[in-house]
Amino acid sequence: MTETPEAPEVSAEIVVPAGTATIPVVDVRRGMFGGSGSGDTSGYGQLVRVIEFPAPTQRPYGGWFDEAADEMGLALAEDGLSFDQAVEAVVIDRGEITFHVRGEHLLAFVRRLRDEPALRFEMCLGVSGVHYPHQTGRELHAVWHFLSVTHTRRARVEVSMPEEHPHVPSIVSVYPADDWHERETFDMFGIVFDDHPGLTRILMPDDWVGHPQRKDYPLGGIPVEYKGATIPPPDQRRSYT
């Protein structure tokens, strides 16, 4: 039997223009689904894919994005902040804008996002968690989605944090409807939203160990329990037919 040769090594580096913030590679995956040790003989084990973030975008951004960034810069200046102090990078990708915001300035940023007449993002559509275990020091990300009804625009705000200190300010004081969304992200990813009015689990039992949507959470081989009731294996469940 012929052995499958090893896949070539791939550099996990992104080259961006000098002076540009670098958003690093998320992962380097080998094989069709990123698995290993399966004894693959199909040839798909030769596939190598570099999973990376879109590079930070340089001005001009185009469209209404420049106007929004300028207005945000002027608004933050009234709080004693510069745009570059609050924002790590701006990414324009697939016709959408993402502000990578530093966590300590998140509340000031979203308050201006809501209140400035030229911005007027009245609605927060919720927060999602993302886990990038290979992105050292930035493994966990919280991503908020905003809608301006006034200007018919959408924007995204993203904050990264390390697994060792997964804290980010809650924005419930600015967008009250984000309450349960932050609880779900805490439940599934373990991101702690500081100053949330009642940060408890919302899907899993209060005594559940771990956060099921993290990439390092076990996929199987563990008993499934809910409030003391155990779910039996499929072949031992009662049949109703």
Q: What is the pTM of this model?
A: 0.77
Tokens 């904050």 sit at which residue? 159
Q: Where are the beta strands (DSSP E) in the chain?
A: 25-30, 48-52, 87-93, 96-101, 123-131, 140-148, 153-161, 167-169, 192-194, 225-226, 229-230
Same domain flag for 113 and 142? yes
228 within a domain of the structure (yes/no): no
Structure tokens at 25: 């590679």
The phi, psi pair for 75, rounded to 5°, reads: -70, -45
Same domain flag for 46 and 86? no
Same domain flag for 181 and 69? yes
Residues 147-155: what's their mean pLDDT? 97
222 within a domain of the structure (yes/no): no
Predicted confidence band of residue 11 (pLDDT cuts 50, 70, 90): very low
Residue 93's pLDDT is 92
Same domain flag for 82 and 110? yes
Q: Which of 151, 73, 84 is nearest to 118 (CA)?
A: 151
- Cα–Cα–Cα angle for 73, 77, 81, rounded to 5 degrees: 95
How far apart CA 101 and CA 90 sit, in angstroms, is 9
Predicted confidence band of residue 42 (pLDDT cuts 50, 70, 90): low
Same domain flag for 50 and 146? no
Same domain flag for 80 and 190? yes
Same domain flag for 79 and 100? yes
Q: Which of 138, 71, 75 is nearest to 102 (CA)?
A: 138
Checking if the pLDDT of 239 tops 80, the result is no
28 within a domain of the structure (yes/no): yes
The pLDDT tens digits for 178-187 are 999 999 999 9
- Would you state the torsion angle of the CA atoms of residues 220, 224, 230, 236, taken in this order, to the nearest 10 degrees? -30
Tell me which of 178 and 18 has the higher pLDDT.
178
Same domain flag for 44 and 113? no
Number of domains observed in the structure of the chain: 2
Same domain flag for 91 and 40? no
140 within a domain of the structure (yes/no): yes
What CATH code is carried by the domain that includes residue 151? 3.30.460.80
Same domain flag for 81 and 121? yes
6 within a domain of the structure (yes/no): no
Helices (H) and strands (E) in the chain, counts: 4, 11
The pLDDT tens digits for 21-38 are 555 677 777 776 655 655
Asked if residue 128 lies in contact with residue 114, where contact means CB atoms within 8 angstroms, the answer is no
208 within a domain of the structure (yes/no): no
Predicted confidence band of residue 236 (pLDDT cuts 50, 70, 90): low
109 within a domain of the structure (yes/no): yes
Same domain flag for 88 and 163? yes
The pLDDT tens digits for 63-114 are 999 999 999 999 999 999 999 999 999 999 999 999 999 999 999 999 999 9
Q: Distance of alpha carbon 86 from its chain centroid, rounded?
A: 18
203 within a domain of the structure (yes/no): no
Tokens 């559940």 sit at which residue? 208
Which domain, by its residues, includes 110? Answer: 65-194
Neighbours of 193 (CB within 10 A): 23
Same domain flag for 83 and 183? yes
Q: Which of 72, 83, 178 is nearest to 120 (CA)?
A: 72
